[in-house]
Chains A and B, each alone.
Chain A
Amino acid sequence: MDGIQLQGLQTLLLQRLDFTTDSPMPIKKLSGGAIQENWAIQGQRDHSEYEIVLRKNAETSVDASSDRKQEYDLLQRLYELNIRVPEPLLFEAKDNILNTDFFVMQKISGIAEGHKLVRLNQPEQQVAILQDIGQRLAELHAISSDAEIEKIIPKPSKEKYLNQSITLLKSQLYRLNSHRPILEFALSWMKQHQPVIDDLVLVHGDYRTGNIMIDHDHVSGILDWEFAHWGDRREDIGWFTAKCWRFGQNAQVAGGIGAYKDFMQAYAECADIFIPEFELKFWHMLAHVRWAIIALQQANRNLDNTQPSLELALTAFLVPQLEKNILDIIGDKE
């Protein structure tokens, strides 16, 4: 953001939110967010200290992510339903000072960095965190479908949902024009081993350590709703517990933080349904294939020069490990 944009933003925030800041505006880009950019801004509102986060599209994004308007509308609805999300404050469509859709939300306290959360070395705190993560996920999955949410995110038919997901991944892989036999084999395996779908719930789509803000021993907010859709609850559970999201703490199945049982007991008692770990084989496959394709898409953004970035370039090196994990999952060696 250049000086003129920052000045325009400062004026907009004052006019629309009564949010004042020092000059120059204290704004800092937050870590992560290869697909979206998040900027923290410190200031005052109602005569007290207040922090906001501005979320905007990165220069280019990946196929499966939603637009900012959809994410903002969903955030608003979830906030009304008392799901633990940051309070959405303002949406601005593309014809604006930043020349892209963006929205502003309240900044919530806590840490989300995966590599820190998986190395707490505080067993009691880790159990408490996992229990809260399980309960919050159960709350999300308990949201009843209504016209308002379905207007934001259309609901597919239960029969078609999984086939559509696999077909979408296949077409994304095809468009990458990259020969990845393991991913192609994995997609073929998934097509043939589709589990019975119980019912469709609202899934976050990226529910993992790193997107869940933790304040001491509880969840202070669930972030990054760009992949939310209607799906099987095991999609979120599989994503959260997949090896690729354990930040190196592979023995700690639940997000690298702790034991599956601590997470699942809290989830089950709140959601009235228990999911055994062995049922997640298909969903762990899906998680790894999906992440591998996103990683390849991100790497391509650097390769085709649409967004030159070392971080994006390095993402390509994750793919062989993801493929190794896929083979381990198929061979029941996980």
Chain B
Amino acid sequence: MNQSQILQLIDASQATLKHELQVKHPESKYHLLMLQRSFQLLKNYIEVAAQNEQQRLEIF
């Protein structure tokens, strides 16, 4: 599994949370939004870590 596959999985999970689970379970909206944000932060973290690694290795 590589990094881009993880990011694709995160995107798919976020879409499921937003377009399917939130519609089916409006009473759980707050908790689903928490999950969505967790995925977003994880995605940001992976992307920033990758950029830092590139800079460290001086690959531009």
Task: Give the Cβ gap from B20 to chain A, nearest Cβ, in Å.
Answer: 15
Q: 26 pairs across A/B with beta carbons < 8 Å? A: A196-B44, A196-B47, A196-B48, A198-B40, A265-B30, A268-B29, A268-B30, A268-B33, A268-B34, A269-B29, A269-B30, A269-B33, A272-B33, A273-B33, A273-B36, A273-B37, A274-B30, A274-B33, A274-B34, A274-B36, A274-B37, A275-B37, A276-B34, A276-B37, A276-B41, A279-B41
Tell me the bound Cα distance from A279 to B30 in angstroms.
17
Q: What size tier do the contact residues of chain A reach?
A: 10 to 19
Report A-chain residues with C-beta under 8 Å of the C-beta of B36: 273-274
- SS class of chain B's interface: helix, strand, loop or mixed? helix
7 shortest A-B CB distances, which residue pairs? A274-B33, A274-B37, A196-B44, A268-B33, A274-B34, A265-B30, A269-B29
For B22, give the chain A residue with the smallest CB separation.
A272
> How far is B34's CA from A272's CA once the two chains are assembled, in angstroms?
10
Which residues of the partner chain A approach B44 to less than 8 Å between Cβ atoms? 196
The size bracket of the interface on B is 10 to 19
Q: Could you mark each residue 194-218 of chain A with 1 if its beta carbon is under 8 Å from any beta carbon of chain B, else 0?
A: 0010100000000000000000000
For A276, what are the chain B residues with a Cβ–Cβ distance below 8 Å? Answer: 34, 37, 41
Binding site for A on B (CB under 8 A): 29-30, 33-34, 36-37, 40-41, 44, 47-48
Identify which of A198, A268, A272, A276 gathers the most chain B CB atoms within 10 Å of its CB.
A268
Specify which of B29, B30, B40, B44 lies most central, judged by the most chain A CB atoms within 10 Å of its CB: B30
**Shortest Cβ gap from A112 to chain B (Å):** 28
Residues of B contacting A273 with CB < 8 Å?
A: 33, 36-37
- Most chain A beta carbons < 10 A, residue from B34, B44, B48: B34
**A198–B43 CA distance with the chains assembled, in angstroms:** 12
- Kindly list chain B residues whose C-beta atoms are within 8 Å of the C-beta of A272: 33
User: Which residue of A has the minimal Cβ distance to B29?
Assistant: A269
Q: Which residues from A are CB-within-8-Å of B47? A: 196
Q: How far is the CB of A256 from chain B (nearest CB, A)?
A: 23
Further contacts, 19 of them, CB under 8 A, given A196-B47, A272-B33, A274-B37: A196-B44, A196-B48, A265-B30, A268-B29, A268-B30, A268-B33, A269-B29, A269-B30, A273-B33, A273-B36, A273-B37, A274-B33, A274-B34, A274-B36, A275-B37, A276-B34, A276-B37, A276-B41, A279-B41
Chain A residues within 8 Å of B34, by CB: 268, 274, 276
CB distance from B21 to the nearest CB of A (A): 13
> What is the CA–CA distance of A276 and B40 in the complex, to the nearest angstrom?
12
Which residue of chain A has the shortest Cβ distance to B43 in the bound complex? A196
Complex: A265 Cα to B29 Cα, angstroms? 9
Chain A residue contacts of B29, Cβ below 8 A: 268-269
A157 to B48, CA, bound (A): 20
Measured CB to CB, the closest approach of chain B to A137, in angstroms, equals 15
Q: Which of B33, B37, B40 has the most CB of A within 10 A?
A: B33
| Chain A 265-295: CB-based contact to B (< 8 A → 1; otherwise 0) | 1001100111110010000000000000000
Q: How far is the CB of B17 from chain A (nearest CB, A)?
A: 11
Minimum distance in angstroms from B39 CB to a CB of chain A: 11
Q: Which residues of A contact B30 (CB under 8 A)?
A: 265, 268-269, 274
Q: How far is the CA of A275 from the CA of B30 in the complex (A)?
A: 11
In angstroms, how far is the closest chain A Cβ from the Cβ of B12?
A: 19
Across the interface, which residues of B come within 8 angstroms of A196, CB to CB? 44, 47-48
- Kindly state the separation between the CA atoms of A198 and B44 in the bound complex, as whole angstroms: 10
Mark interface residues in A166-204 (1 if CB within 8 Å of B CB, else 0): 000000000000000000000000000000101000000
